[in-house]
């Protein structure tokens, strides 16, 4: 959404413009800030019912990234209040799909928490949005997740973003089974197993 002050370019040359990603299509700015990069928010909770919907959100994220001419700053809230309750958040999977080579951050990839600034010219379209695949899925190629139906309470597992942890509880039926896992560094997280990509370390 744009306001009158956003559209009046002559009177407002030094300003911050707030808009949705959809509104930003076709536009470019020297510096962009993408906020709210949390699981269940971006990608949205409603999109998690199918990989097709998640992929559409991923393409939208690509659109947001490529609006920047110089830098992109990515951020998410470690916790936010929802319906009167304080809820802890996991960082968006989209953050962890970006190759570390394109990120300027003092925070290790396995514990990415906070704000990330992308380097100038870090990512541009290659013919079409399919070029985005060249910049994602560049994580450890030797990491092979186990089938989610092999996971059990008490197992020690490894996640590419959160590191090693112990499964405290598994609840629900497939395809909506969730696991509560306490990670050594990232703390306690609740993950949807069909997307979690966990590797069994020991039983």
My answer on whether 15 and 65 are in the same domain is: yes
My answer on whether 126 and 157 are in the same domain is: no
My answer on whether 122 and 47 are in the same domain is: yes
| CATH value at residue 177 | 2.40.10
The answer to whether residue 143 sits within a structural domain is no
Phi-psi region of 142 (alpha: psi -120 to 50; beta: other; left: phi over 0): alpha
State the total domains in the chain.
2
My answer on whether 161 and 128 are in the same domain is: no
My answer on whether 105 and 189 are in the same domain is: no
Cβ neighbors of 87 (< 8 A, separation 6 or more) are 79, 80, 81
Structural domain including 31 reads 4-134
Please tell me the predicted confidence (pLDDT) of residue 129. Answer: 34
Please tell me the predicted confidence (pLDDT) of residue 104. Answer: 67
My answer on whether 45 and 85 are in the same domain is: yes
The span from the CA of 96 to the CA of 136, in Å, is 9
The span from the CA of 37 to the CA of 29, in Å, is 19
Q: What angle do CA 132, 30, 13 make, to 5 degrees?
A: 145
> Of 196, 203, 189, nearest to 147 (Cα)?
196
My answer on whether 12 and 49 are in the same domain is: yes
Please tell me the predicted confidence (pLDDT) of residue 154. Answer: 95
Please tell me the predicted confidence (pLDDT) of residue 61. Answer: 92
Please tell me the predicted confidence (pLDDT) of residue 163. Answer: 85
The answer to whether residue 141 sits within a structural domain is no
The answer to whether residue 185 sits within a structural domain is yes
My answer on whether 32 and 66 are in the same domain is: yes
The answer to whether residue 191 sits within a structural domain is yes
| CATH value at residue 119 | 3.40.50.300
Please tell me the predicted confidence (pLDDT) of residue 105. Answer: 59
The answer to whether residue 16 sits within a structural domain is yes
Averaged pLDDT in 10-residue chunks for the chain of 203 residues: 51 78 88 90 85 89 89 85 82 81 56 42 34 39 83 92 89 86 85 87 86
């Amino acid at each position: 959404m744009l306001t009158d002050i956003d559209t009046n370019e002559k009177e407002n040359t030094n300003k911050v413009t707030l808009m949705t990603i959809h509104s930003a299509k076709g536009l470019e700015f020297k510096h962009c800030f993408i906020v709210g990069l949390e699981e269940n928010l971006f990608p949205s909770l409603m999109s998690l019912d199918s990989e097709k919907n998640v992929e559409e959100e991923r393409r939208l994220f690509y659109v947001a990234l490529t609006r920047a001419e110089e830098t992109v700053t990515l951020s998410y809230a470690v916790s936010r209040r929802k319906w009167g309750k304080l809820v802890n958040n996991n960082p968006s999977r989209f953050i962890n799909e970006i190759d570390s080579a394109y990120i300027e951050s003092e925070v290790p990839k396995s514990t990415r928490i906070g704000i990330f600034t992308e380097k100038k010219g870090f990512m541009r379209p290659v013919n079409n949005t399919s070029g985005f695949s060249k910049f994602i899925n560049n994580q450890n190629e030797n990491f092979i997740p186990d089938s989610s139906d092999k996971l059990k309470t008490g197992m020690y597992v490894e996640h590419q973003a959160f590191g090693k942890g112990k499964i405290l509880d598994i609840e629900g039926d497939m395809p909506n089974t969730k696991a509560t896992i306490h990670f050594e560094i990232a703390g306690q997280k609740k993950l949807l197993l069909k997307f979690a990509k966990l590797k069994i370390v020991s039983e």
